[in-house]
A and B are shown apart, each in its own frame.
Chain A
Amino acid sequence: MEAIILQILNGLDKGSAYALIALGLTLIFGTLGVVNFAHGALFMIGAFCAVTFSRILTLSHTIIDETQTDFLGNPLKVDVPYLYDLFGQATGDAIIDWAVPLSILFTVPVMMFVGYAMERGLIKHFYNRPHADQILVTFGLAIVLQEVIKYFYGANPIPTPAPQAFAGSLDFGALLGFDPNLIIYPYWRIIYFVFSAVIIGAVFAFLQYTTFGMVVRAGMADRETVGLLGINIDKRFTIMFGLAAAVAGLAGVMYTPINSPNYHMGMDFLVLSFVVVVVGGMGSLPGAVLAGFLLGILESFASMREVLEILPGLNQIIIYLVAIIILLTRPRGLMGRKGVMED
Chain B
Amino acid sequence: MSKSNFTRRGLLKTSAVAGAGLALPTIFTAQSAHAFTNEPTGGTVTLGFNVPQTGPYADEGADELRAYQLAVEHLNGGGDGGMLNTFSSKELDGTGILGKKVEYVTGDTQTKSDAARASAKSMIEKDGAIMITGGSSSGVAVAVQALCQEAGVIFMAGLTHSNDTTGKDKKANGFRHFFNSYMSGAALAPVLANAYGNDRKAYHLTADYNWGYTTEEAVRASTEAMGWETVAAVKTPLTQTDFSSYIAPVLQSGADTLVLNHYGGNMVTSLTNAVQFGLRDKQVNGKDFQIVVPLYSRLMAKGAGANVKGIFGSTNWHWSLQDEGSKAFVKSFGTKYGFPPSQAAHTTYVQTLLYADAVQRAGSFAPCAVGQALEDFEFDGLGNGKTLYRGADHQCFKDVLVVKGKENPTSEFDLLEIVEVTPAEQVTYAPDHPQMGGAEAVLGACNNGA
Task: Report if B269 contacts A (CB, 8 A).
Answer: yes
Task: Report if B305 contacts A (CB, 8 A).
Answer: yes
Q: What 1/0 mask marks residues of chain A from 234 to 272 whose CB sits below 8 Å from any chain B CB?
A: 000000000000000000000001111010110011000
Closest to A162 in B: B276
Q: Is the CB of A182 within 8 A of B252?
A: yes
Complex contacts, B307 vs chain A, CB 8 Å: 159
Complex contacts, B249 vs chain A, CB 8 Å: 3, 6, 304-305
Q: Which of A150, A157, A167, A182 lies in contact with B303, CB distance below 8 A? A: A157
Q: Is the CB of A157 within 8 A of B268?
A: yes
Complex contacts, A68 vs chain B, CB 8 Å: 410
Q: Which of B245, B284, B307 has the most CB of A within 10 A?
A: B245
Complex contacts, B284 vs chain A, CB 8 Å: 181
| Stretch from A69-77, A104-112, A209-217, A325-333 contacting the other chain | A69-77
Task: Report if B128 contacts A (CB, 8 A).
Answer: no
Q: Which of A182, A259, A262, A299 lies in contact with B56, CB distance below 8 A? A: A262
Q: Is the CB of A159 within 8 A of B304?
A: yes
Closest to B268 in A: A157
Q: Is the CB of B410 within 8 A of A6?
A: no
| Stretch from A7-15, A85-93, A118-126, A219-227 contacting the other chain | A7-15
> Interface range on chain A: under 10, 10 to 19, 20 to 34, or 35 or more?
35 or more
Q: Is the CB of A157 within 8 A of B265?
A: yes
| Stretch from B168-176, B212-220, B330-338 contacting the other chain | B330-338
Q: Which of A72, A169, A184, A303 lies in contact with B335, CB distance below 8 A? A: A72
Q: Is the CB of B276 within 8 A of A188?
A: yes
Count contacts between A and B, CB distance < 8 Å: 132
Q: Which residues of chain A from 33 to 77 have a CB within 8 Å of any chain B CB? A: 68, 70-72, 76
Q: Which residues of chain B from 283 to 330 have a CB within 8 Å of any chain A CB? A: 284, 299-300, 302-307, 319-320, 330
CA distance A155 to B307 in the complex (A): 19
Q: Is the CB of A315 within 8 A of B242?
A: no
Q: Which of B245, B268, B277, B320 lies in contact with A184, CB distance below 8 A? A: B277
Q: Which of B242, B278, B334 lies in contact with A168, CB distance below 8 A? A: B278
Complex contacts, A185 vs chain B, CB 8 Å: 248, 277
Complex contacts, B232 vs chain A, CB 8 Å: 305
Closest to B340 in A: A71
> Interface range on chain B: under 10, 10 to 19, 20 to 34, or 35 or more?
35 or more
Q: Which of B242, B269, B276 lies in contact with A14, CB distance below 8 A? A: B242
Task: Report if A158 contacts B (CB, 8 A).
Answer: yes
CA distance A3 to B248 in the complex (A): 9
CA distance A299 to B319 in the complex (A): 42
**Distance from B371 Cβ to chain A, minimum over Cβ atoms (Å):** 34
Q: Is the CB of B331 within 8 A of A156?
A: no
Task: Report if A300 contacts B (CB, 8 A).
Answer: yes
Q: Is the CB of B277 within 8 A of A186?
A: yes
Q: Which of A3, A72, A259 has the most CB of B within 10 A?
A: A259
Complex contacts, A159 vs chain B, CB 8 Å: 268, 272, 302-307
Kindly list the 9 A-B residue pairs having the minimum CB-CB distance in the complex, ordered from nearest.
A159-B305, A157-B303, A169-B278, A155-B58, A303-B245, A300-B245, A186-B276, A268-B241, A71-B340
B residues in contact (CB < 8 Å) with A: 55-59, 232, 234-235, 237, 239, 241-242, 244-246, 248-249, 251-253, 265, 268-269, 272-273, 276-278, 281-282, 284, 299-300, 302-307, 319-320, 330-331, 334-335, 339-340, 410-411, 413-414
Could you pull out 25 A-B pairs where Cβ atoms are within 8 angstroms?
A: A3-B249, A3-B252, A9-B248, A13-B244, A72-B331, A72-B335, A76-B411, A155-B59, A156-B268, A159-B302, A161-B306, A169-B281, A181-B251, A184-B278, A184-B282, A189-B276, A257-B276, A258-B242, A258-B272, A259-B242, A265-B241, A305-B249, A305-B253, A308-B234, A308-B235
Further pairs besides A157-B304, A159-B306: 13, Cβ < 8 Å: A6-B248, A13-B244, A71-B330, A158-B303, A159-B304, A161-B305, A161-B306, A169-B281, A181-B251, A257-B276, A258-B273, A259-B241, A315-B245
